[in-house]
Amino acid sequence: MSDSSEQQARRFSLSSFDMDELMNKIREIDVDEEAEKLPEVTIDGIHGQANAFMHLAHPVRLALNGALGDYAFAFNELTDVQMTGNVGHGVGEGMKSGAVRIRGNAGEGAGCSMTGGTLAIYGSAGDRCGAAMRGGGIFVRGDVGKETGIGALGGTIVIGGDAGKNLGDAASNVTIFIRGQAESLASGVTEAPLRQREQVRLGLLLINASIRGDAKDFRRIVPRAMLEAETAKPGELNPNWR
């Protein structure tokens, strides 16, 4: 298209299209890989739809206002989502890349089984946030529920508030940072202070997620075996903790 402004800004409504039609409209948008900005798409007519924008794999910037139901943006890939409103259970489940930023609260299982990308929740999240995740980063500005990070094998979870019962997983290789308090830790995990290099890393992660905070105020939640391996004295047997 010759009109560059039309290329950069589109507006659709779920009052005019069903979800499948709207997803096809988004996927039809031409993307200039050399452009500095992604094409911008605004979605109207948001009122609690479930299974919204699942498997959306197109490099656009999506802006939404309103609430969505369960499994919003599940398996997201490439898309940069900016949403104002609450979401239900399973937001960003299985996401592979891209970014989903929710300026609201999320239900249970946020980021479950995700393998890449960034999921940022600027409110609070429910139980089992980051369960079984394999990669990527989850950032929650507020509180999270119980069993956060259970079964997770990789990635990063940052919690700005408090956590419920059984935070972490003794067999996990996920990195969990928390600023508040956990109601209880899972068996076999412990709190550990942030080392200098981790403060630097966490600071960069917070900037990437557009979350204000001082990295030094956070602590790590790690398996006890991992901490013991990190703190072993020179010359001691120090096998891979896993």
- DSSP strand E in the chain: where? 9-13, 40-44, 61-65, 80-84, 99-103, 118-121, 137-140, 156-159, 175-178, 189-192, 219-223
**Cα–Cα distance for residue pair 226/102, rounded to 1 Å:** 32
The stretch 147-167 carries a mean pLDDT of 96
CA distance 135 to 156: 7
145 bridge partner residues: none
Query: What share of the chain has pLDDT > 90, as a percent?
Result: 73
d(CA 86, CA 104): 5
Q: What is the pLDDT of residue 112?
A: 98
* pTM beyond 0.85: yes
Structure tokens at 226: 């991992």
Provide the residue ranges of all domains of the chain, joining segments of one domain with +.
Answer: 7-230
Residue 193 in this model has a pLDDT that exceeds 90: no
Task: Assess whether pLDDT exceeds 50 at residue 3.
Answer: no
Residue written as tokens 């929710």?
102
Domain 7-230, CATH number (from 3.30.300.130, 2.160.20.60, 3.40.190.10, 2.70.70.10): 2.160.20.60
Running DSSP on this structure, what letter comes out for residue 38? P
Q: Vertex 50, ends 123 and 53: CA angle to 5°?
A: 85
Extract the tokens encoding 211.
């979350």
Q: How far is CA 126 from CA 5, 12, 229, in A?
A: 40, 30, 32
pLDDT greater at residue 66 or residue 32: 66
Contact between 168 and 195 under an 8 Å Cβ cutoff? The reply is: no
Model pLDDT for residues 67-105, shown as the tens digit of each residue = 999 999 999 999 999 999 999 999 999 999 999 999 999
Determine the Cα–Cα distance for residues 175 and 197; give it in Å rounded to an integer.
14
pLDDT tens string 211-225: 777 898 999 999 998
CA-to-CA distance for 88 and 199, rounded, in angstroms?
32
